[in-house]
């Protein structure tokens, strides 16, 4: 890829540092530049005089990645650290190593250390254990400094003994920042004015974790307890960070912003500073009538909401309750404030779902339209419910492909009948692959190894590649994912510090009425 035009890039003399760290993001640049973890790690590592950090992004299979800063190869660095946000990044991560001439198997490497962190890798390391030397489990801030100190001194063996560091065959305790006000926040954020995603926007982490307990949500259970930054600390971060930006845009990062005790104070402060700000999604909230007007004053013209299901019964199953009258009142206020576009996220295949639950969509969308949102301004995304490790639904079966196709067809017809034309959906086969990698053990690692070989032989990492991989394993799409039983030992049980398995099991049984015994 051509080197993008960026602000706040750090370029160092490689001869004057003791540790060269490659920060690798196995997705395209447009996704990685909009990721706060990438901006934070890049800044923290480069703040040290003895370390150099350069960034790598995935472009296409078989193409060796080169650093954004200097065009150096991945093999020119002491540590390769992957930020793993999603299971579908795994084949791209392995290809970045292979195409760079770095052995993909951990045991075959001699001169480099490959580290991985991020939500998917630290939730269930098992599919990646053959390829990764060390995992950072949980949040990196508590251990990053000590890890770099040891690496600068060449003492990589001792890194394995640090809290939160996991390697194959060991155990680790999940790390959490105790007080978010005390955690470093990126202020001199590297960004590009022309980036896709959040162009020229300062990424501001408001809070971390969520207390709602939605039973399908990995982030909710991985990042407990919910923690928030104080309005005063947020103001100080903006004071320090905004002068480095080429714009006045702020994107608030939080999975539970609407639970923040200082929500109105924070948004009012940003408005008074003359900032343009946006939230990634909204919730039905009792924060008062000021909120829609504040968002509109900050320049937000569209909102995103995730009802997940049109069925009130299924919202009880997933533990995401809201009152529909309150929802309609909330949406009416946003529309009156001048916000004209609405994106809605739904899932199909929630445990105990029937065709009748899909029929609840028509009255719900009808009421949303009556709140003032025109059908042409409504954008809907539909995905299969994908079981994730470290959630109550890690034992849940996945909806069958024919049931998904039938319900999706009905879902789309309901939308079309109401004049809503923008409906996008995930291919069920990709959802199955994602569930397999999220909850998999050694067979998932075997599949990733075969996938790497297929790509090296000219495969494109697409569903055709997956068919060939599964044929070699004696399996096929449609039968790839099988749920674990409640009594099974799960591949990620060596990771401690998450919500106890027994608590998750009780939640699953409570949600579905009975416990599925699994099919593995």
Same domain flag for 280 and 363 = no
Lowest mean pLDDT among 160-164, 377-381, 476-480: 476-480
- What's residue 518's pLDDT? 53
Question: Within a 10 A sphere around the Cβ of 351, how many other Cβ atoms?
Answer: 24
* CATH code for position 385: 3.30.750.200
Distance CA 196, CA 482 (A): 36
CA distance linking residue 84 with residue 121, whole number of Å: 6
What is the rounded average pLDDT of the residues 83-90?
Answer: 96
Q: Cα angle at 320 between 315 and 323, to 5 degrees?
A: 75
List Cβ neighbours of 184 (8 Å cut-off, separation of 6 or more): 40, 44, 141
| Per-residue tokens: 231 | 């309005």
Same domain, 71 and 133: yes
> Do 326 and 366 reside in the same domain of the chain?
yes
Q: Looking at 137, 155, 173, which one is the last position of a domain? A: 173
The reported pLDDT for the residue numbered 283 is: 85
Task: Note whether 395 and 510 are same-domain residues.
Answer: yes
* CATH number for position 140: 3.40.50.280
CB burial of residue 276 (10 Å; 0-12, 13-18, 19+): middle
Could you give the percent of the chain with pLDDT greater than 90? Answer: 88
**Per-residue pLDDT tens over the stretch 167-218:** 999 999 999 999 999 999 999 999 987 544 445 799 999 999 998 899 999 9
Please give the average per-residue pLDDT across 450-462, as a whole number.
97
Number of domains in the chain: 3
315/216 Cα distance (integer angstroms): 11
Q: What is the pLDDT of residue 66?
A: 97
Model confidence pLDDT, tens digit, residues 284-304: 776 667 889 999 999 999 999
What's the rounded Cα separation, in Å, for the pair 459 and 447?
A: 14
Phi-psi region of 366 (alpha: psi -120 to 50; beta: other; left: phi over 0): alpha
pLDDT of residue 347: 98
* pLDDT average, residue stretch 393-402: 97
DSSP 3-state of 278: strand
Which of 511, 315, 490, 480 has its CA nearest to residue 389?
A: 490
Find the domain containing 281 and state its range: 200-300
**What pLDDT score does 316 carry?**
95
pLDDT at 3: 77
Q: Which residues contact 89 (CB under 8 A, 6 or more apart)?
A: 26, 27, 58, 120
pTM tops 0.75 = yes
CA distance 350 to 357: 10
Instruction: Check pLDDT > 70 for residue 315.
Output: yes
pLDDT of the residue at 196: 45
What's the CATH code of the domain at 251? 3.30.750.210
- Name every residue whose Cβ is closer than 8 Å to that of residue 159 and which is 6 or more positions away in sequence: 113, 134, 147, 150, 151, 165
Q: Do 357 and 313 touch, CB atoms closer than 8 A?
A: yes
3-state SS, one letter per residue, for 1-24: CCCCCCECCCCCCHHHCCEEEEEE
Span 101-114, average pLDDT? 95
Q: In DSSP terms, which residues pair with 252 in a beta bridge?
A: 204
Could you tell me which of 155, 153, 110 has the C-alpha nearest to residue 133?
110
Q: What is the pLDDT of residue 520?
A: 60
Whether 453 shows a pLDDT value over 80: the answer reads yes
Q: Say if 254 falls within a structural domain.
A: yes
Residues 252 and 278 in one domain: yes
Whole-number pLDDT of residue 195: 47
Residue 466 lies inside a defined structural domain of this protein = no
Structural domain includes residue 448: no
**pLDDT of the residue at 284:** 79
Specify the pairing of strand 227-228 against strand 207-208. Answer: antiparallel
More reliable by pLDDT, 212 or 393 = 393
How confident is the model over 132-160, as pLDDT tens digits? Answer: 999 999 999 999 999 999 999 999 999 99
pLDDT tens digits, residue range 324-367?
999 999 999 999 999 999 999 999 999 999 999 999 999 999 99
Same domain, 281 and 354: no
């Amino acid at each position: 890829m051509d080197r993008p035009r960026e602000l706040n890039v750090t370029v160092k003399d490689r001869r004057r540092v003791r540790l060269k760290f490659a920060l690798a993001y196995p997705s395209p640049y447009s996704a990685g530049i909009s990721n706060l973890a990438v901006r934070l790690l890049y800044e923290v590592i480069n703040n040290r005089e003895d370390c150099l950090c350069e960034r790598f992004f995935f472009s296409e299979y078989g193409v060796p990645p080169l650093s954004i800063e200097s065009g150096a190869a991945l093999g020119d660095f002491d540590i390769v650290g992957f930020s793993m946000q999603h299971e579908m990044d795994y084949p791209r991560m392995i290809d970045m190593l292979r195409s760079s001439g770095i052995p993909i198997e951990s045991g075959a490497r001699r001169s480099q250390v490959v580290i991985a962190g991020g939500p998917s890798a630290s939730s269930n390391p098992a599919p990646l254990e053959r390829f990764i030397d060390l995992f950072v489990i949980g949040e990196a801030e508590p251990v990053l400094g000590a890890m770099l100190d040891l690496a600068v001194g060449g003492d990589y063996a001792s890194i394995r003994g640090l809290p939160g560091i996991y390697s194959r065959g060991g155990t680790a305790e999940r790390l959490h920042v105790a007080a978010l006000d005390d955690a470093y926040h990126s202020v001199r954020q590297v960004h590009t004015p022309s980036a896709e995603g959040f162009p020229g926007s300062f990424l501001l982490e408001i809070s971390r974790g969520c207390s709602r307990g939605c039973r399908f949500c990995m982030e909710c259970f991985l990042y407990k307890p919910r923690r928030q930054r104080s309005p005063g600390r947020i103001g100080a971060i903006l004071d320090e960070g905004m002068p480095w930006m080429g714009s006045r845009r702020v994107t608030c990062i939080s999975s539970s912003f609407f639970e923040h005790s200082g929500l109105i104070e924070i948004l009012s402060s940003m408005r008074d500073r003359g900032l343009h700000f946006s939230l990634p999604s909204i919730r039905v909230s009792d924060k008062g009538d000021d909120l829609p007007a504040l968002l509109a004053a900050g320049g937000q013209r569209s909102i995103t909401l995730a009802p997940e299901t049109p069925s009130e019964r299924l919202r009880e199953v997933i533990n995401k309750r809201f009152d529909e009258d309150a929802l309609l009142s909330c949406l009416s206020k946003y529309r009156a404030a001048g916000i004209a576009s609405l994106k809605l996220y739904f899932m199909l295949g929630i445990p105990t779902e029937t065709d009748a639950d899909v029929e609840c969509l028509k009255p719900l969308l009808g009421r949303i339209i009556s709140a003032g949102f025109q059908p042409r301004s409504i954008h809907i995304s539909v995905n299969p419910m994908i079981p994730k490790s470290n959630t109550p639904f890690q034992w849940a079966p996945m909806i069958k492909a024919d049931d998904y196709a039938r319900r999706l067809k009905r879902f789309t017809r309901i939308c079309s009948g109401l004049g809503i034309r923008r409906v996008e959906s995930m291919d069920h086969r990709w959802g199955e692959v994602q569930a397999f990698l999220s909850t998999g053990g050694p067979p998932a690692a075997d599949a990733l190894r075969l996938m790497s070989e297929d790509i090296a032989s000219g495969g494109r990492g697409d569903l055709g590649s997956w068919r060939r991989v599964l044929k070699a394993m004696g399996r096929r799409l449609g039968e790839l994912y099988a749920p674990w039983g409640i009594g099974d030992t799960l591949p990620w049980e060596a990771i401690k510090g998450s919500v106890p398995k027994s608590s998750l099991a009780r939640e699953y049984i409570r949600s579905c009425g009975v416990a599925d015994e699994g099919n593995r």
